[in-house]
Amino acid sequence: MSISFRSLTVVCLTTLLAGLSSRLLAADVAIPRLVGAAGCTAASCHGGNSLIGGEATAWLSRDVVHRRAFDVLFSETSVRMALQLGLKSAHTEARCLACHSTVGMHPDGAKGERFAVEFGVGCESCHGAAGDWVARHTERTWRSLSVSQKADLGFHDLRPVNARAEKCAECHVGSPRATVDHDLIAAGHPRLAFELSAYHALLPKHWDAAAELQRDPAQELRLWAIGHAVSAKALSEIAAARAESALKSGTKHVTSDLAEFDCHACHHDLAEPTRGRPTLRDSLGSPRWGSWSVPPARVVARESHQLFGQDGAAAESSLGQLAKLMQQSRLGTAPAVQLSLAARQSSADLANWSRSLEYSTTEPERMNQLLDRLVATESEWLPTWDGQVQRYLGIVATSRSLRVTTGREPFSFASDANVLSNFRSQLAYPIGYATPRSFDSSAVNPIIQELRQSLTR
């Protein structure tokens, strides 16, 4: 009797296990297969020679940084980093592959025969794992599918600026899945300082960018505004995930990573005179959290009503609340429960605000007013390197949008070596350095005054 009972249990257990593993398998299948960029490059697909149909050709020949993103894991810097960090090698390290190859999206997911990690940041890194849509998207019926039907198949529609910004931010700001922390930076990784309108302008396009600009002449400003909202949202999500994992492990307080604070508040050259060093009462000995992304996101949120007719007040205020708590996290005294709530709130408010900017309109008069404030001597931009670079990028984005919408130059400069490029060279790293060693904030105000005087309006 007892034997049959036992065998019954065994049977039950095996069916249970079988059920479990088939469910696990099902979960595996739910991650679409990665096809690999080689699956897109056929001449009859995206490997042609014209703008439309030649996307892969354009990507292979011009988007060199993304195509080579895996290759840089063999560079001298990467080899040194791996040594420093005690890794076997950079090109096999999941942490590096997370952002330097398409494989990082689904390290354990299924891969097609033509998938190769060597393709770096390939098509599917941005457009979504193609296993479930690669065949469908060549069919006539593809065009009749809705955006959400396509999304269900794993296809990312990158036409909305918000979707585009989210994609870039995953690697260029970081996510709970992968960040560039202070250890990586100290070992040699460049600091991530992402600003969407600038990076978007630098990215060689494999689509009809001119047509896009025609449809949305304010695209540059939209990229600028949404980019700031989405970058601050990415930081909020990293903060939330950190607080929640602290809670899970029974820790009541959160310590965050140094890379999220103002580098220059700690790393000033002690041998240099204090002239030009920002004297911000509240940042002395207490570097600001999110010094690169948070202050500009708050400025843009305050400009949002005037510029796009959209209220950014809720996002501005909840991001401010989060920043206050995160300020305590450097010393490990930020309460995890409050921090997790504040970070989720900030993320949700930023997302709402950011989405409201997608289709709202603006006009030259409003852009001119923004430009006026960007070149005001009394401004909200911090006198730090981070603050002034962000201000400079804001001036560039606004000028570009004004040029597209009005066909006029917003500044009149007497010479080719104009004031704006002078501003830029003040901010540039000296040759041989990866830091703005010679930045002197007292040089900025005269430049701003000159810019004001050069406004054409």
CB atoms within 10 A of CB 107: 10
Residues 219-258, interacting with ligand HEC (CB under 6 A): 258
Site for ligand HEC contains 373 (CB under 6 A): no
Q: Which of 117, 126, 326, 342 contacts ligand HEC by CB under 6 A?
A: 126
Contact 33, 109 (CB under 8 A): yes
Tell me how far apart the alpha carbons of residues 290 and 60 are, in angstroms, rounded to a whole number: 35
**Tokens read off for 199:** 């990076």
Residue 307 CB, shortest distance to ligand HEC, in Å, is: 22
Residues 31-60, interacting with ligand HEC (CB under 6 A): 37, 40, 46, 52, 55-56, 59
If the CB atoms of residues 289 and 411 are measured against ligand HEC, the closer one turns out to be 289
Tell me how far apart the alpha carbons of residues 331 and 437 are, in angstroms, rounded to a whole number: 27
Residue 381 CB, shortest distance to ligand HEC, in Å, is: 19
Stretches 10-18, 245-253, 263-271, 344-352: which one binds ligand HEC (CB under 6 A)? 263-271
Residues 163-192, interacting with ligand HEC (CB under 6 A): 164, 167-168, 170-172, 174, 178-180, 182, 184-186, 189-192
Tell me how far apart the alpha carbons of residues 37 and 205 are, in angstroms, rounded to a whole number: 17
* Residue 27: burial class (beta carbons within 10 Å; 0-12, 13-18, 19+): exposed
**Tokens read off for 368:** 């001119």
Tell me how far apart the alpha carbons of residues 213 and 230 are, in angstroms, rounded to a whole number: 21
Estimate to the nearest angstrom the gap between the alpha carbon of 8 and the chain centroid: 55
Maximum Cα–Cα distance for the chain, whole Å?
A: 102
Site for ligand HEC contains 77 (CB under 6 A): yes
If the CB atoms of residues 37 and 221 are measured against ligand HEC, the closer one turns out to be 37
CB atoms within 10 A of CB 359: 11
Residue 55 CB, shortest distance to ligand HEC, in Å, is: 4
Which residue's entry shows tokens 């450097």?
A: 330
- Residue type for position 195: E
Residues 298-357, interacting with ligand HEC (CB under 6 A): none
Using CB under 6 A as the criterion, which residues of the chain lie in contact with ligand HEC when the complex forms? 37, 40, 46, 52, 55-56, 59, 65-66, 68-69, 72-73, 75, 77-78, 81, 90, 93, 95-96, 98-100, 121-123, 125-127, 158-159, 164, 167-168, 170-172, 174, 178-180, 182, 184-186, 189-192, 199-200, 202-203, 206-208, 258-259, 261-263, 265-267, 287
